[in-house]
Chains A and B, each alone.
Chain A
Amino acid sequence: MKPAPFAYLRPSTLEEALAALAGEQGAKVLAGGQSLVPLLSMRLAAPSMLVDINALPGLGDVTCDASGVRVGALARHAEVLASVAAAEVQPLLAMALSHVAHPTIRNRGTTVGSLVHADAAAEMPMVLQLLGGSVDVASVRGRRTIPAAELFAGPLESTLAHDEIAVEASFPALPAGAGVAFQEIARRHGDYALVGVAALVETDGDDVTRVRLGFVSVSDVPVVVDVTDAVRDPAGDPAARALAELEPADDIHATAAYRAHLVKVLVPKVLAAATDHARQGKDA
């Protein structure tokens, strides 16, 4: 299948790109193209113009400091995954990214593009949500920062206006005494997960102070559930607590019941792993 006709622009400054978007109601941003191009080819999307941001300067960096990791709009999944500094500041990035698609797709697909694409089956929107990160966006009207909690509007829908470009995402650093873990079950290696679960466990000495879980593919938008109480209660069931807020659904690959079962299987595993991770960090 071939895309319907569209105009194509490859601006070399952000201002030019923003002006083009503002001037064309049907325009869309093209980043790595790994989600958008298939949609165009199947004529599921037919934008009047593509604004290709790949020639924009200064958007390709992955920068790290004590506060966290900042990922530019043109940083590819593969680059973020390969960053040793990023993995040190926030280990969950690499843990999750190794499950995003296949190497060839990670070489082109951008992490910021994945956030804006807002697929509840994608790993990185959930990671941003769990860590409480944010995305900086620009338009002809200026810049703003969208916290993760306000970024995901619905299935495949973010709260960016049509003329906004996401220029950078910020993932907070792992706090001292905290640990993270991620596991997913997919039909084939590199496929979108049937279920994916990440855990962020914060500790103070031997005390578990706060536990949150992030979920992939068991709801319409990335969901984070605070299960601190269920973890601290010896009779508590964190998975059941989480399931109360999830909406696993049937699809052609798995039943809702199987997805719910996988949540029950994965939650204890990631909790144990993240708790271990927190303890290791403390020992080191």
Chain B
Amino acid sequence: MTTKLFGAKVPRVEDQRFLRGQGRYVDDLLHDDPRLLHAAVLRSPHAHARIVDIDVSDVLDLDGVLAVWTWEDLTGPMAEPLPLLIPHPALTEGRTQYALAKDEVNYVGEAIAFVVAVDRYVAEDAVSRIRVDYEYLQPVVGIAAARAATRLVHDDVPGNVGARMEQENGDARAAIAAAPHTLHLELDVERSACTPMEGRGTVARWDPDTSRLTVWSSTQTSTGVRGCVAAKLGLDLAKVDVITPDVGGGFGVKVVHPWPEELLVPLAAMTLGRPVKFTEDRREHFISSAHERAQQHVVDVGFDDDGRVLGLNVEFWHDHGAYTPYGLIVPIITSTQLLGPYKPQNYRVVFESLYTNTVIVTPYRGAGRPQGCFVMERTMDAIAAYLGKDRTEVRSTNFIQPDEFPYEHGLVFQDGRELTYDSGDYPASLAKLKELVGWDEFEDLRAEMAAQGRRVGIGLACYVEGTGVGPYEGAHVHVETSGKVKVATGLTTQGQGHQTAFAQIVADTLGVRFEDVEITTGDTRKMPYAVGTFASRAAVMSGSAIHLAALRAREKALRIAAEALEASEDDLDIVDGVVSVRGTDATIDLGTVAVLSNPLRYAFDEASKAATQFTVGDPGKPPVAEDDEPGLEGKDFYSPPRSTFANGMHAVIVETDPETAEITILKYAVVHDCGHLINPMIVEGQIHGGVAQGVGGALYERMVYDDSGQLLNASFMDFLMPYVTEVPTSIDIDHLETPSPLNPLGIKGAGEAGVIPSAAVFAAAIEDAEGFPITAMPISPSELFALRLEHADDTHATALGS
């Protein structure tokens, strides 16, 4: 009997390739093809301007330039605005950009012209020859300017308000008015971005012999790219294949589609009859992909003497940049996921989503949850400070209890479904976290450090994360006559370890050796129906679909094997790819079963020869029975009723230097509950990465725009992504496994979790060390120094609210 692989720390099969530099990314493709052409894009240098004239007359004179496009050269659907992917009734003023700017540019970096040349050097030389006359318009930069609305981003969007949305459960304002205690908080989060190691990239090849277009894109959704390329270029879907090769990180930004280049590259490949490549460079990634996080929040909360929240009213303003291709997903998630593990008796939330002349905003790992968590956890800390209670006690008072699941919040979630938590055990998670970080012993540490002139603080933050959003994901499992198992699922992979985790599921469900399973992701030729990899959904959605598909293959294998071995299906086991009759020595290899499943049996290989000893099928019936298909395959889709809700709690101990205001992490602890763990090592890797990214978001990274809308730190020299030296050397992790009742494997998503509580947990710890409120994140030593000066006269400034 093989040991169960589900739940085991199986080493990642991907790592051999990745760590040896043998990954194949979009920029590696067609590298040696002498016909390959390269694209470069002229991008707006202004945040807001009208385009008076574009003069490309000098461009084609340059040796090696093949073509240049501006909006005027685009026809049909290509000349229309890009799609608004996720419309919402509240998004009354949705706007999207054109593939190439028409008449107006609305952010620095917006694509204006597209040049194709023999190499990227020449293409960039050509771009610098394009002359554009601009009529400069005043830009709107930042939430304050957007709200003031003395200037407009889009002339036809009054107040710069793209959407206003309100949800309420109970009567929050009345409950607050009647509450024994109230607090008012103003909480801000700044812009940051995904910044994956590999930027965007697309390669396209048109094959005139077969009239087919092949597109390789560094995307989080190959089926999405396929659909929009076909629609925009006026091709039958069947003529377009989209393949996602290795992807060097996505973190959300690559779920946006189509990017202008994702359409222009295939257009150029078809027009010029040669393959074309676009590889985004780092500066382009900063100024022309997507950002996230910037929101301003105002909180009013009413609570009783125990700290129990009686009413919570949150208003916030979301900066969505110049356009809204991804709809309202981010602010909707903030507005609903803000609630975390708590049950405020009455909750009202209202947000406005605002236009600014900056890069578009779309989901970045966590997708609005880090802001929501920041708001809720700062509120919990403020209540604790106000009442003089332990911060964990106030949280416990407000927790949804284990016997209250499924818990209905009376709100609508991002997927348009009711916000209903499926399972969790928050008191147990908190108990583990307190133990792990040493919460109850912290005052001893504080005193000990203080005696050495050192200043430390502790913070914690809790979150609940809706994961595995629908609508569906599918899988196809095929057992070849060699016994090898080929599995396809349509969503893409960006380095998460899907090849490993999915193969673990197949090995267990089907009863085959892990080494014999090969997983293909993100290839529309193999699986044309798929959604994509985002929202911590791959394990839940494709993992479940793969399990179901493997079950189907298993059923068929058992049916055929039973007939071949003249035994009952109930007496069969499948272990390591061999079907055996329990209690006998009769066996048949799965590869042989695969041969028997196909009435066309040329004896190509040993498996085929071995099959000759068995007879299956009724000679009186057609070779393929009416309700059967040739081949040993299983295909299935998984579509959940709603999201499954993972949760976690982080705690951090920081040291703040009394002189330099530098912030050092002394201990970082995570308790994580994503249901059953397929591979604890992969989950921990996801948490490590998320925590590192969260350290960046909380203490280092920000997007610094000046008043004219120029991004001042569009490089890794000035956008301070943390180095390995800035992230904690160890992260203490403990798991709780509260299975989800919504899917066959009891799993929940884990991809985004690590980053969600960072702003909240660091703010709490710094506040605890310093004794004055931290209401805006990220925070730098320079800012902490300024706060110290501001609060120098406070005596015991511990209460966060007013």
Known: A42-B715, A102-B723. 14 other contacts (CB 8 A): A1-B124, A1-B281, A4-B124, A42-B283, A187-B780, A187-B781, A188-B726, A189-B723, A190-B723, A253-B720, A253-B780, A253-B782, A254-B780, A255-B786
* A window 1-47: CB within 8 A of B: 1-5, 42-43
CB–CB A255/B121 < 8 A:
no
Q: A252-B713, A258-B782 are in contact. Are A188 and B120 (CB under 8 A)?
A: no
CB–CB B782/A188 < 8 A:
no
Q: A189-B725, A255-B782 are in contact. Are A1 and B125 (CB under 8 A)?
A: no
> A257: CB under 8 A from chain B?
yes
The B contact surface, by secondary structure, is loop
- Given the complex of chains A and B, what is the CA–CA distance between A254 and B661 in angstroms? 12
> A185: CB under 8 A from chain B?
yes
> CB-defined interface of A162-202 with B at 8 Å, one 1/0 digit per residue?
00000000000000000000000101111100100000000
CB–CB B786/A188 < 8 A:
no
> A265: CB under 8 A from chain B?
yes
> B662: CB under 8 A from chain A?
yes
> B712: CB under 8 A from chain A?
yes
CB–CB B725/A188 < 8 A:
yes
CB–CB B125/A187 < 8 A:
no
Query: In the assembled complex, how far is the CB of residue A257 from the closest CB belonging to chain B, in whole angstroms?
Result: 7
> A144: CB under 8 A from chain B?
no
* B window 581-635: CB within 8 A of A: none
> A146: CB under 8 A from chain B?
no
User: Of A2, A3, A189, A261, which contacts B726 at CB under 8 A?
Assistant: A189
> CB-defined interface of A207-222 with B at 8 Å, one 1/0 digit per residue?
0000000000000000
CB–CB B125/A4 < 8 A:
yes
CB-CB under 8 A from B98, the residues of chain A are none
> A59: CB under 8 A from chain B?
no
Smallest CB-CB A-B distances: 6 pairs = A189-B725, A254-B782, A258-B782, A2-B121, A265-B659, A252-B704
CB–CB A2/B723 < 8 A:
no
> B785: CB under 8 A from chain A?
yes
CB-CB under 8 A from B713, the residues of chain A are 252
User: Of B712, B718, B785, which contacts A258 at CB under 8 A?
Assistant: B785
- Given the complex of chains A and B, what is the CA–CA distance between A50 and B660 in angstroms? 42
User: Of A3, A187, A255, A262, which contacts B720 at CB under 8 A?
Assistant: A187
User: Of B125, B662, B718, B723, which contacts A252 at CB under 8 A?
Assistant: B718
Query: In the assembled complex, how far is the CB of residue B271 from the closest CB belonging to chain A, in whole angstroms?
Result: 23
CB-CB under 8 A from B128, the residues of chain A are 4, 43
CB–CB B660/A188 < 8 A:
no
CB–CB A1/B283 < 8 A:
yes
Residues of A in contact (CB 8 Å), total 24
CB–CB A258/B786 < 8 A:
yes
Residue of B nearest to A266 (CB): B660
Question: What are 14 A-to-B residue pairs whose CB atoms are below 8 Å?
Answer: A1-B281, A2-B120, A4-B128, A5-B121, A43-B128, A185-B781, A189-B726, A190-B723, A252-B718, A253-B718, A253-B782, A257-B789, A258-B785, A261-B785
Q: A252-B712, A255-B786 are in contact. Are A188 and B121 (CB under 8 A)?
A: no
* B window 669-712: CB within 8 A of A: 700, 704, 712
Query: In the assembled complex, how far is the CB of residue B130 from the closest CB belonging to chain A, in whole angstroms?
Result: 14
> B722: CB under 8 A from chain A?
yes
- Given the complex of chains A and B, what is the CA–CA distance between A5 and B281 in angstroms? 18
- Given the complex of chains A and B, what is the CA–CA distance between A254 and B121 in angstroms? 36
CB-CB under 8 A from A5, the residues of chain B are 121, 125
Query: In the assembled complex, how far is the CB of residue A103 from the closest CB belonging to chain B, in whole angstroms?
Result: 12
Residue of A nearest to B699 (CB): A187
- Given the complex of chains A and B, what is the CA–CA distance between A118 and B786 in angstroms? 31
CB-CB under 8 A from B780, the residues of chain A are 187, 253-254
- Given the complex of chains A and B, what is the CA–CA distance between A5 and B126 in angstroms? 12
- Given the complex of chains A and B, what is the CA–CA distance between A254 and B785 in angstroms? 10
User: Of B120, B660, B725, which contacts A185 at CB under 8 A?
Assistant: B660
CB–CB A2/B124 < 8 A:
yes
Q: Which of B704, B718, B789 has the most CB of A within 10 A?
A: B718
CB–CB B786/A190 < 8 A:
no
CB-CB under 8 A from B121, the residues of chain A are 2-3, 5
* A window 235-284: CB within 8 A of B: 252-255, 257-258, 261-262, 265
Residue of A nearest to B712 (CB): A252
* B window 642-662: CB within 8 A of A: 659-662
Query: In the assembled complex, how far is the CB of residue A216 from the closest CB belonging to chain B, in whole angstroms?
Result: 15
- Given the complex of chains A and B, what is the CA–CA distance between A272 and B126 in angstroms? 58
User: Of A4, A194, A257, A265, which contacts B786 at CB under 8 A?
Assistant: A257
Q: A252-B712, A255-B786 are in contact. Are A187 and B281 (CB under 8 A)?
A: no
- Given the complex of chains A and B, what is the CA–CA distance between A193 and B278 in angstroms? 36
- Given the complex of chains A and B, what is the CA–CA distance between A283 and B743 in angstroms? 74
CB-CB under 8 A from B782, the residues of chain A are 194, 253-255, 258
- Given the complex of chains A and B, what is the CA–CA distance between A3 and B122 in angstroms? 10
Q: A257-B786, A258-B786 are in contact. Are A188 and B720 (CB under 8 A)?
A: yes
CB-CB under 8 A from A190, the residues of chain B are 723, 725
- Given the complex of chains A and B, what is the CA–CA distance between A257 and B783 in angstroms? 11
Residue of A nearest to B40 (CB): A2
CB–CB B659/A187 < 8 A:
no
CB–CB A265/B281 < 8 A:
no
Query: In the assembled complex, how far is the CB of residue B790 from the closest CB belonging to chain A, in whole angstroms?
Result: 12
CB-CB under 8 A from A258, the residues of chain B are 661, 781-782, 785-786
CB-CB under 8 A from B661, the residues of chain A are 258
CB-CB under 8 A from B662, the residues of chain A are 185
CB-CB under 8 A from A257, the residues of chain B are 785-786, 789
CB–CB B700/A187 < 8 A:
yes
- Given the complex of chains A and B, what is the CA–CA distance between A43 and B785 in angstroms? 37
Query: In the assembled complex, how far is the CB of residue A171 from the closest CB belonging to chain B, in whole angstroms?
Result: 27
* B window 144-180: CB within 8 A of A: none
Residue of B nearest to A189 (CB): B725
Query: In the assembled complex, how far is the CB of residue B783 from the closest CB belonging to chain A, in whole angstroms?
Result: 9
- Given the complex of chains A and B, what is the CA–CA distance between A67 and B188 in angstroms? 58
Residue of A nearest to B283 (CB): A1
Residue of B nearest to A261 (CB): B785
* B window 113-130: CB within 8 A of A: 120-121, 124-125, 128
- Given the complex of chains A and B, what is the CA–CA distance between A3 and B123 in angstroms? 11
Query: In the assembled complex, how far is the CB of residue A237 from the closest CB belonging to chain B, in whole angstroms?
Result: 16
- Given the complex of chains A and B, what is the CA–CA distance between A253 and B712 in angstroms? 11
CB-CB under 8 A from B660, the residues of chain A are 185, 262, 265
CB-CB under 8 A from A253, the residues of chain B are 718, 720, 780, 782
